[in-house]
Structure 1
Amino acid sequence: MSFAMAFSKKEDESGLSSYYNNKTTIIQEARVFNESPISPRKCRALLTRIVYLLYVGETFSTQESTTLFFGTTKLFQHKDSALRQAVYLTIKELATTAEDVIMVTSSIMKDMQPNSEVIYRPNAIRALCRIIDPSMAQGVERFFKAAIVDKNPSISSAALVSAYHLFPHAKDVVKRWVNEAQEAVNAKSGGYFGSVSTGSGFFGGGSSQSGAQTVPSSSNITQYHALGLLSLVGGKSGAGTTLKNAMALCMLIRYAAKVMEEDPNVQRQMVELLEGWLRHKSDMVNFEAARVICEMKNVTAAQLTKSIAVMQLFLSSPKPVLKFAATRTLAALALSHPASVAACNVDLENLITDSNRSVATYAITTLLKTGNEASVDRLIKQITGFMSEISDEFKVIIVDAIRSLCLKFPAKHAAMLTFLSGVLRDEGGYDFKRAVVEAIFDMIKFIGECKEQALSHLCEFIEDCEFTKLSVRILHLLGIEGPKSSQPAKYIRFIYNRVVLENAPVRAAAVASMAKFGVNSTDPKLNHSIAVLLNRCLDDVDDEVRDRAALYLKVFKTQTLVEPYIKEDSVLSLAALESKLVSYVKDTTAAAQPFDVSTIPKISRAQAALESARPSTLDTIGVPAAKKTSSSPPPPTAAETQSAYAEKLAAVPAFASYGPIFNSSAKPLPLTESETEYQVTCVKHIFKEHIVFQFNVSNTLPDTVLENVTMAMQTEDAGLTQDFVLPIESLSAVTSPGIAYVSFTRDEPEDYATATFQCTLQFVSKELDPSTGEPEADGYEDEYQIEEVELSAGGDYIVPSYAAFGAEWDRLKAGPSVTETFGLGTSVESLKAACDSIIEVLNMEPLGGTEVPTSSSVHTLQLSGLVTGGGGKVLVRCRMTFSQGVGVTLELGVRAEKQDVCQLVVNAVGG
């Protein structure tokens, strides 16, 4: 029975498959390897079962793997070519768990000899790279070099792929194969994939015949593998014009995209190169070149013209894969260049009825981003027809497109809200329903005319909502927006139904929502009804529901509690609170003083919800970050960053007596260009009596090691005295990045010292011995000039902190305040640029005014922060005007709890 036929039967129903693929049974049957004479048919069948088990995730113990491994190697003595291929496949898979596998090296190397059977050599090469110890790589170097340049593509490709897998374990050896890899890239097409047995095949029965036929190959797949190895070892290929393999060209195009991302200055030359590949005979190459151009940063409409023309041709292709690829790329491009993509609208409309619903989905979403207001009703009608035919994943894509369209054409809100409320009643999972709810939330926030209708739709949805998280979020929104509506009482019934019918978390959210109606309503009758409903909740079986009801009933009786417990929209940052508490507990000198909660920055409740859902990123703080992908975790919050820095510094004995950290830089400051041989970033840590500069240093030179790496800092400004420098003992490309510290004492801890430091990286440079990998004995002292480091008045002493600006501004009215006027000049091109600059300089929490209307010439920005070292709360109101020829004029109003804090803010902006 053939392998394919065996899988076509429903063996699971009879239990035969579980017996046939039982690990214990297979180990017992391994005695077939010891029979004399050997039966190739039986052995191939058993090897097939072993490999199948490994592929489906079954594991063998070390002892079992070793037994099977050495039983399999006994089959080397048989000349059956199909059996030999099965042997190689099996030992390659078992080698990762078996012991003493290196003992079969000699048997494998016999099949690697140039005079051995061609059909054996590729399998032997692949198996050998899994078997040998990294220290043996140099001993087989000549075999691999010869195989890489072999005229047979199957042998050459096997050697190249094996070299790719060997590289992490034997980098120095594989790097010496660059010339051979380059030769493989430039090799002309032709040759053979090798001898192909005319017997019954790999898994079938029967023996192979001696005069094996050869099948000519013109795929040039060796170029693809060779190019991949060259990129891995850092080699350079000038064979862009000689590449014939489509996969190799696609890889080269992706390398070109990487080069453009690292160095934007070469973008123009690269675009010319990519446009040449748009005319390639392979659809794969055409698409890859067009996609890279479409995804370039700062790409212009002129540069997109040819790429969009290629995508437009793909839209009318009979191949579904090309249509899908083109529509998906255009859907992403439409977010940033809708006018350019609009040229494809006619072709996209033809795809709305495409039998492939994935293609139709992307066509619809692209049209939603590029269409005009007149086409909205027609598109929504067409969408409604096939929403039930697509998966939740594509439904989310469509809903997100509708969400963007709502804000683009607010006049069409009625049709879009009808569509969203309709799909909200359809079947679907959590992600789909969440996307619809988020879209309705945005309509409530940005389109006032549809607020009450949207709230009614959400009330109907929670009547049958099966997702607790969504019910809680909707109840929270009802508590905020419901009291502001013309008829707030109509929402109470829906909210109280949740108290009667839902689980404990939803009941607790419903209690909180009802309480907000009572606090914000001026109708005594409504307030009395809510009090009655809350009293009923005191008998709830869940303690959270009872406690909330009791709390809000108390608040109703004592009006002074309303502001802090119901109307207050800020909470303490939990990450910052945890960090400060840990430092407080560890600091024995601070134990006698009460813990000061006022030093903890506040965040909005919305920010707190995001913070609680974030993954931990403490291990990645303070070092140069890798490129982020779509699957990367979100960056850490400012509070998480502070906590991580505190943990790192606490592990350094020299800083044990410094006490808690008041503030650390929000993000590392780059002091070198990204392409330089030494890369340095700086983080500043403010203590009560000290300032510590943390320098993250990376060495990108693979053949050089730096020892005794220190940072020399010089300044002419007074107020700081250098204490000591903590060097990096040794820094190589492998151990990078390393951290060097420089500590200063604040001469007057109550003052906010400012200074500019000239910084020089100093080190002893040593070359690495290529044979041993160890640094040479002799080195030389060297230094590397980097950019200046500035200790600023605002950003280094102020921590962002959320506040209710209006109430806090009035509270600080009687305290210290300063008002100054500044002319920012024409160098600041707009009010938006002025807002961004002020936020960056002061490092404060923007509470309002970050969104600047393009037509506005007058604007107000509100900021809030906490000043380190007991400086207290500080609020800033920035009133700005913009006029052509004059630029931005700024009136800076500052209110704080201390006079020197007001001056600190003014100096930060004026400096």
Structure 2
Amino acid sequence: MKARRDGKEEDSNVFQNLDKTTLLQEARYFNSTPVHPRKCIHILTKILYLLNQGEELTTQEATDIFFATTKLFQSKDVVLRRLVYLCIKELSPMAQDVIIVTSSLTKDMTGKDDEYRPAAIRALCSITDSTMLQAIERYMKQAIVDKNPAVGSAALVSALHLSATVPDLVRRWINEAQEAMTSDHVMVSYHALAVVAGARRNDRLSTVKLITKLARTPVRSPYTLCLQIRFAAKLAEEDPSEASEPYLEFIESCLRNKSEMVVYEAAHAIVNLRKSAKDLAQAVSVLQIFCGSSKATLRLAGARTLARLTAKHPNAVAACAVDLENLISDSNRSVATLAVTTLLATGAESSIDRLMKQISEFMSEISDEFKIVVVRAIRRLCSKYPRKHQSLAAFLAGMLRDEGGLQYKTAIAEALIALIEENPDAKETGLAHLCEFIEDCEHVTLAVRILHVLGREGPKARQPSRYIRYIYNRVILESGPVRAAAVSAVARFGASRPELLPNIRVLLSRCQLDEDDEVRDRAVFYSAILDSGNPQLINDYIINIQVPNPVLLEKSLSDYLASGDQSEPFNIAAVPTAEEPQEPKESPVEIETRKAPVVSREEQYTEQLQAIPGIEKLGPLFKSCEAIDLTEPETEYRVRCVKHIFARHLILQFECLNTLSDQLLEKVYVRLDSIPGYKISNVVPCDELPYDKQGNIFCLLEFPENPIETLGNFGATLEFVVRDCDPTTGLPDSNEGYADTYPLEEIEITCADQFRTRAATDDWEQAWERAANAAEACDTFGLTQSDVGAAASAVCEHLGMPKAAISGEAVKEIRGGGLWRAGAPVLMRARLVAAQGTVTMQLITRSPREDVATLLLAAVG
């Protein structure tokens, strides 16, 4: 606070106008003799503030400040010295020759002044490399078991950070860390458990022994107990059998702990683990007590966890309705929001209007992230109570008109879009609200998204012409990207509704005079396609456009040009699409402040596949399948297989992990017992497989010419040379080692591996009729399942079809299509009927290639 002359106070930030150049000049003061600690403290504070605000220093600037700061080691001022350590940590990644202060830090680390030692340890471990760390290893071991808890905690936290870069070195400190686990200080035992468990994270048996041992001994530190609960929950999640019962019993016993933190951690773990409502009674009772607590943090924790539980077990939460009703008027609006959204998810249809009115009373008082929680709750209500769509859509539209950020507005728009897609009766209402919103939408990405929805759903409405005005207004009033999206939306109306085509042609002709080249190009492109009158062209390039993944498309094009063989045209259909169909997942009601970027499986493996010589000659990667385990989880060698599918080739990637610390594996490769017809073109072995570091082995095979011959199993054996090594250093002995083998599970090549499939779209019937002249294969099968729903799900899983392809009640129908690895499209229709305890299925497939159509039948048979 800064005092004004008139006696009033005003808020001010003394660091808000910092200038980097001025600060560099001020840092030269550190070279003076003598220096005033207070002035140095002020300068160092400004340096740290500037760095934490994201200011970037050049290498030379960082080096100059770093070495000027090191002059302050001569000061005896405690606050100044601590700031020096912080500056060293912040500047070390940017500056050069930082290793020069190692001796000064080591001196402080081993000194008698406990006020300097913890900070010196943290700074030293952040700047030294793996070779220099061995020189201070003895001091680190002593620091871990030091009587001063601040020193021990600093050493253990530094060990945790170092385990990511030099895990072998940290494993040598395990004995000291285990000794520190018995410390009476709450933080030391907590950090020690984290170090010990982290060193054993890839050794399940050792982790089981550790958690089982700790469960029998009383632990004083609530932090340690919380971490212990998390490890026990992880073990129980990985092993769903009865062997996990001791972990669940331990977690349930923690519900009776004196510490509220431990009780909540145990309740949270049970909520995430239990799959049936009857097992949740104890945890729900604890959370119910939390909802009535006088502490706002406990009320928030209880309400938030109950809100999360409503996604899977609404009936279990219904018993807490009275407590949640009391929270609606809570002074903490975050708690009130969670209480109302939980009641919305568990209450009856008749109580919705009352709860919605209560929400509207304090919507303006809560932050965007809690508003998003409300939006998600309403979105779930739209699916649960479709008859309430009018009032729910009106409420969402009112929220759209309020102030808010992009993430909040996007959540509302997505909720309205979901309502339109799921409820045919709400289509007109939802589209009207979206049209009204884009009139004043200031977010380009959101306007483009809504225009895409209007172009897709508008032509299916009863009066499609009413939406064209809103879309064409965007062409007149908005920026280039929005105008381009509007042109695409308008073209969809012309493609789907022939009666509107003359007017659409006029609008597109006007767009051809636009100042933006993207808008002009789209208008010319769509006009030419619509004028052609070709239904196939209109469907493929306007109505159902398959957009390839841009990252993989760029990679495939680069490989195509690098291969030097352009005798065959590039097949863009073989590139995976940007949005592969996903199985719908029920998302819990919770706050999501940050979303990880979505990366396809094909993108994840692109760089790893570059290890194969001549990979660019194989053409674009068609599909990467989900990894399958070829060994049991507790075995000494763990191997997973990922199948990468190309047009004519198959790459088997074996992800190998050695869990034995006293062995080093060399010349590791996989020997395959080949299926007849397959040709093994190349094998890329793993030269060395040290402890706890993943290695990859690649086998390149060529598919048989006949698609039916591609189905079958590969026998596989892991072969390698074993060399004994020192478990602490990882260095192998002088002996040459001995050859050994390890049997793996068989690898099955299925029909689903070779297709990218999708459920039927709205124009599926027209596509099926257009394919009437294509090759057709038909057969009838008797399935082993007795329930027609389970049989339909099993067929979809076997053929790689999404569950969304299933429709019907008594008679199940599966409709969908896909693309074979070599680019041949295929359509599939199956009818399943249950009679006299058995399920009969008629399967019909159509494709330009008869052998591909037959392949689907052969896979089922």
Range of TM-score over shorter length? 0.7 to 0.9
Distance in 2 separating the partners of 1:557 and 1:89: 69
User: Which of residues 669, 673, 679 is equivalent to 1:714?
Assistant: 673
1:633 aligns with 2:592: no
- Corresponding position of 1:621: none
- Corresponding position of 1:471: 447
Flag the 1:694–1:102 CA change in 2: closer, same or farther, 3 A: same
The structural deviation recorded for 1:573 is 2.8
Is the 1:186–1:242 Cα contact (8 Å) retained in structure 2? no
Is the 1:710–1:728 Cα contact (8 Å) retained in structure 2? yes
- Corresponding position of 2:546: 571
Flag the 1:596–1:302 CA change in 2: closer, same or farther, 3 A: closer
1:307 aligns with 2:271: no
The structural deviation recorded for 1:402 is 0.4
Is the 2:650–2:703 Cα contact (8 Å) retained in structure 1? yes
Flag the 1:474–1:125 CA change in 2: closer, same or farther, 3 A: closer
* 1:72-91 matched pairs, under 5 angstroms: 72-75=72-75
The structural deviation recorded for 1:307 is 0.9
The one-letter code of the counterpart of 2:673 is Q
Which ranges of structure 2 fall in alignment gaps of 5 or more residues?
3-7, 201-206, 583-591
- Corresponding position of 2:437: 461
- Corresponding position of 2:269: 292
Flag the 1:322–1:602 CA change in 2: closer, same or farther, 3 A: closer
- Corresponding position of 1:153: 149
The one-letter code of the counterpart of 2:768 is W
* 1:118-267 matched pairs, under 5 angstroms: 119=115, 121-122=117-118, 125-126=121-122, 129=125, 134-135=130-131, 137-138=133-134, 140-167=136-163, 171-187=167-183, 189=184, 220-234=186-200, 236=210, 238-240=213-215, 241-265=217-241, 266-267=243-244
Flag the 1:852–1:292 CA change in 2: closer, same or farther, 3 A: farther
- Corresponding position of 2:820: 867
Deviations 1:377-412 (A, max 9, x none): 111111111122222222121111101101100111
Is the 1:699–1:732 Cα contact (8 Å) retained in structure 2? yes
Secondary structure of the 1:331 match is helix
The structural deviation recorded for 1:586 is 3.8
The one-letter code of the counterpart of 1:350 is N
Distance in 2 separating the partners of 1:131 and 1:498: 55
The structural deviation recorded for 1:511 is 4.1
- Corresponding position of 2:769: 810
Which ranges of structure 1 fall in alignment gaps of 5 or more residues?
3-7, 190-218, 611-627
Is the 1:413–1:450 Cα contact (8 Å) retained in structure 2? yes
- Corresponding position of 2:832: 880
Deviations 1:446-476 (A, max 9, x none): 2222322332222222222223333333334
- Corresponding position of 2:740: 782
1:421 aligns with 2:417: no
Is the 1:863–1:877 Cα contact (8 Å) retained in structure 2? yes
The structural deviation recorded for 1:708 is 1.0
* 1:504-543 matched pairs, under 5 angstroms: 504-518=480-494, 520-521=496-497, 530=504, 532-543=506-517
Secondary structure of the 2:175 match is helix
The structural deviation recorded for 1:304 is 1.2
* 1:623-772 matched pairs, under 5 angstroms: 631-636=595-600, 640=603, 652-653=612-613, 659-660=618-619, 663-684=622-643, 691-715=650-674, 718-722=676-680, 725-733=683-691, 735-741=693-699, 743=701, 746=704, 752-769=709-726
Flag the 1:408–1:758 CA change in 2: closer, same or farther, 3 A: same
Q: After alignment, is 778-787 or 691-700 more displaced?
A: 691-700
Distance in 2 separating the partners of 1:254 and 1:455: 46
User: Which of residues 841, 845, 849 is equivalent to 1:890?
Assistant: 841
The one-letter code of the counterpart of 1:303 is D
How many residues align structurally?
824
Deviations 1:720-751 (A, max 9, x none): 455554322111135422223254684x5677
Is the 1:697–1:740 Cα contact (8 Å) retained in structure 2? no
Flag the 1:342–1:838 CA change in 2: closer, same or farther, 3 A: same
Deviations 1:598-641 (A, max 9, x none): x54786xx94899xxxxxxxxxxxxxxxxx99754324066x57
- CA RMSD after TM alignment: 4.0
The structural deviation recorded for 1:676 is 2.8
The structural deviation recorded for 1:431 is 2.0
Secondary structure of the 1:738 match is strand
Flag the 1:404–1:61 CA change in 2: closer, same or farther, 3 A: same
- Corresponding position of 2:204: none
The structural deviation recorded for 1:300 is 2.1
Flag the 1:518–1:699 CA change in 2: closer, same or farther, 3 A: same
Is the 1:19–1:25 Cα contact (8 Å) retained in structure 2? no
The structural deviation recorded for 1:796 is 4.1
- Corresponding position of 2:534: 560
Flag the 1:701–1:319 CA change in 2: closer, same or farther, 3 A: same
Secondary structure of the 2:779 match is strand
Distance in 2 separating the partners of 1:378 and 1:735: 57
Distance in 2 separating the partners of 1:722 and 1:580: 23
- Corresponding position of 2:855: 904
- Corresponding position of 1:336: 312
The structural deviation recorded for 1:521 is 4.6
Flag the 1:29–1:410 CA change in 2: closer, same or farther, 3 A: same
Is the 2:495–2:538 Cα contact (8 Å) retained in structure 1? no
User: Which of residues 830, 835, 841 is equivalent to 2:798?
Assistant: 841
Flag the 1:668–1:520 CA change in 2: closer, same or farther, 3 A: closer
Flag the 1:485–1:128 CA change in 2: closer, same or farther, 3 A: closer
Larger radius of gyration: 1
Is the 2:122–2:155 Cα contact (8 Å) retained in structure 1? yes
- Corresponding position of 2:811: 858
Flag the 1:882–1:580 CA change in 2: closer, same or farther, 3 A: farther
Instruction: Give me the TM-score of the superposition, normalised by structure 2.
Output: 0.85
Identity of aligned residues (%): 40
The structural deviation recorded for 1:909 is 0.6
User: Which of residues 295, 301, 304 is equivalent to 1:325?
Assistant: 301
Distance in 2 separating the partners of 1:15 and 1:763: 61
Instruction: Give me the TM-score of the superposition, normalised by structure 1.
Output: 0.80
- Corresponding position of 1:591: 566
The structural deviation recorded for 1:873 is 2.8
1:795 aligns with 2:752: yes
- Corresponding position of 1:382: 358
Distance in 2 separating the partners of 1:89 and 1:869: 58
Is the 1:584–1:660 Cα contact (8 Å) retained in structure 2? yes
- Corresponding position of 1:622: none
The structural deviation recorded for 1:160 is 3.1
Is the 1:689–1:749 Cα contact (8 Å) retained in structure 2? no
